[in-house]
Amino acid sequence: MSDLFSKEDTRPKSERLAELAEQAKSCSACSLFHTRANVVFGVGNPEAPLVLIGEGPGQNEDSTGLPFVGRSGLFLDECLKACGITRKHIYICNVIRCRACAYEAGRLKNRPPTAEEVKSCQPWLEQTLQTIQPHVILCLGSPSANAIIHQNFRITQERGQWYASKYAPHAMASWHPAYILRLEGDAHATAKQQLINDIEAARKQVILARKQTPKLSLF
Ligand code: SF4
């Protein structure tokens, strides 16, 4: 794994991210490499001021190598669109880059990543964020908030609040789209609106930062 912290790297961000993604393809730092089909490194605009970070790849992501595809991805796109944002405006990745799964009744089923797996994958996440240097991070779900904002993040109480993070001046956590899709009725509608509100707050935070730093790219 290259160490982008140790020296000034003046290459374009897109080139540096592509190199990291290539290196990650052969990562075997945790046991998830045994069962993955693809390393899901991340996609989007390397110059994006806003980065969204989810938990980890599921089956669809593992088979395509892309984050947030399938039902969760479509739902996220719908919520982004409600705020006038498309994927070309942002960068999306996960806390871990290989699917966490276990055999159940002869089939691989998704499971939450362990603390050791998250720790093993942290250097990839850190180098991604060090390269992009986002102004705003929106964490989707508590595993992401634990990694980016603070440990033992309580998403029901702390969702929608701004924090300073060592990875970005402004970080907030919202619901993970997959969680919202499991809710029904009023609970689903409320959580969906909260996610849209949080994305909109992130968009406004970028606009505010743009006024203070005119060189920052904008939606
Ligand atoms: S989850 Fe991360 S640390 Fe584990 S094998 Fe995949 S890329 Fe490497």
131-179 pLDDT, tens per residue? 999 999 999 999 999 999 999 999 999 999 999 999 999 999 999 999 9
- What are the pLDDT digits (tens) for 172-219? 999 999 999 999 999 999 999 999 999 999 999 999 988 887 666 655
Q: Report pLDDT for 211.
A: 82
Over residues 50-63, the pLDDT tens digits come to: 999 999 999 999 99
- Mean pLDDT of the chain, nearest integer: 93
Domain that holds residue 124: 13-209
pLDDT bin (cut points 50, 70, 90) of residue 108 is confident
Query: What is the distance between the alpha carbons of residues 45 and 206, in angstroms, rounded to a whole number?
Result: 15
Residue with CA at minimum distance from ligand 1 atom 2: 121
Distance (angstroms) between ligand 1 centre and the Cα of 113 equals 11
Q: Is the CB of 101 under 6 A from ligand 1?
A: no
- The DSSP bridge pattern shows strands 136-140 and 107-110 to be unpaired
**Domain membership flag for residue 1:** no
Residue 71 domain-assigned (yes or no)? yes
Give me ligand 1 centre to Cα 157, in Å.
Answer: 30
**CATH value at residue 137:** 3.40.470.10
Pairing relation of β-strands 101-104 and 91-94?
unpaired
The CA 118 to ligand 1 mean position distance, Å, reads: 8
Tokens describing residue 94: 């996960």
Q: Find the radius of gyration of the CA atoms of the chain.
A: 17
Q: How many domains does the chain have?
A: 1
